[in-house]
Structure 1
């Protein structure tokens, strides 16, 4: 099977890895999912390309031709040792766009030290997102790398009926209004003349403090 630099290798077919592989396949991506368990490989082989292999073994990597992949995801969650060794092997094989699931801060620290560019703590990230949604302030929440977040909120009462330019949202609060979705209308990008109404859903970006200050008014 010939792979391009847009091909994605997913290692580990638990709930996390199988979900990633399914999503990539549905998007038309060239994906190969690998697991050490023959049972897991057989379960998912009807849905997307799979292979059984121990990715801690460099010979197995060579046989799969992993150096041809542009991106890899290490979705191993049941063994920190296997996760770290696999990640190291993939980096040695020349895959720089590497994503890896971590199960603890210590695990994440080791992955970071060996050069993994993207570290995902699925449970922590999901818990933080749900916590923000349960608080009732946000309709949706995405934490970006660094200190910024993107959130979806209803227009705060103190800016309802005013345009983004009138309120000077960026200058006054440090928040960028990416756009808004009014009931029954298409999404509109955040120009200065765009008027924010109470039932509109705003998509805004900023630090946590900036966003909270904008919501409070």
Structure 2
């Protein structure tokens, strides 16, 4: 049986509200709090449980059972001080996993020293995504995983007539095919059949380091 996930979000500005909406669409239970009456009112049509409360008040969070949630995300606008205070309160409450939106590199450094489980710096992350997309046509996603891990599309092109076993991309280029979109189809097929012959109009989705993906030959046929 799948474990039910409950997420608390402190701060319902642009980032916090967008996160709450996406989690709700994925079927995850979300409880949001914000000290702004206007932001709480704006969130109510989309989040089943939203409350006007001061996120820096540990008693308010305890009353809403934040200590029992699987994750708590802290997104308190541009206030570094408020964010740190919320984190300290959540840690004292025994919250299992704390994720925080950083507002500056200094803020990010402090959060890491506090032992926060995950720190996101949205502006920096988006900037990296955009830079990599500009530098590498066909890139779908940049993944920050220590190394520059990238997901990229490539048309089969001159690899036509071969299958994935024959191409042996893992050993030849240290990249992995994670999906294929066949000619004439709109959706990708994941866990592709490695023995199926490829058409030059098929599209492969590859994952690997930026350096390894850059070494791939062009797909021209």
Instruction: For residue 161 of structure 1, report the CA deviation from its aligned partner.
Output: 3.6
Secondary structure at 2:41 match in 1: helix
Instruction: Report the Cα distance in structure 1 between the residues aligned to 2:193 and 2:25, rounded to whole angstroms.
Output: 34
2:119 paired residue number: 119
What is the CA-CA distance between 1:8 and the residue it aligns to?
0.7
Q: CA deviation at 1:90?
A: 1.6
TM-score by length of 2: 0.86
How far off is 1:94 after superposition? 1.9
Q: Mind listing any 5+ residue stretches in structure 2 that lack a counterpart?
A: none
Q: Who is 2:19 aligned against?
A: 20
- Number of aligned residue pairs: give it: 214
Which deviations, in whole Å up to 9, do the C-alpha atoms of 1:167-205 show, x marking residues without a partner? 210011111111211233353323432444433222211
Q: Residue in 1 aligned with 2:94? A: 94
How far off is 1:43 after superposition? 1.9
Contact 2:20/2:30, CA 8 A, preserved across alignment: yes
For residues 1-217 of structure 1, the aligned pairs below 5 Å read: 6-48=5-47, 49-135=49-135, 137-147=137-147, 149-155=149-155, 157-185=157-185, 186-188=187-189, 189-215=191-217
> Could you tell me the TM-score, scaled by structure 1's length?
0.87
Q: Is the 8 A contact 2:11 2:55 kept in 1?
A: no
Please state how far the C-alpha of 1:156 moved relative to its aligned partner. Answer: 5.7
Q: Distance in 1 between matches of 2:168 and 2:149?
A: 20
- Structure 2 CA distance for aligned equivalents of residues 154 and 132 of structure 1: 16
User: Against the structure 1 CA distance between its residues 214 and 45, is the aligned structure 2 distance closer, same or farther, given a 3 Å change threshold?
Assistant: same
Q: How many angstroms apart in 1 are the aligned matches of 2:102 and 2:201?
A: 39
Structure 1: distance between partners of 2:198 and 2:107: 44
1-structure distance, mates of 2:108, 2:217: 33
- Aligned-partner Cα distance in 2 for 1:5–1:82: 29
Seen in structure 2, the aligned counterparts of structure 1 residues 46 and 190 have a Cα distance that, compared at 3 Å, is: closer
Q: Which runs of 5+ in 1 are unaligned?
A: none
1:144 CA drift (Å): 4.3
Q: How far 1:157 sits from its partner (Å)?
A: 4.2
Whole-angstrom distance in 2 between the partners of 1:146 and 1:60: 37
| Cα distance between partner residues in 2 of 1:87 and 1:197 | 53
Deviates more, 1:109-118 or 1:184-193: 184-193
Classify the secondary structure of the residue corresponding to 1:10.
strand
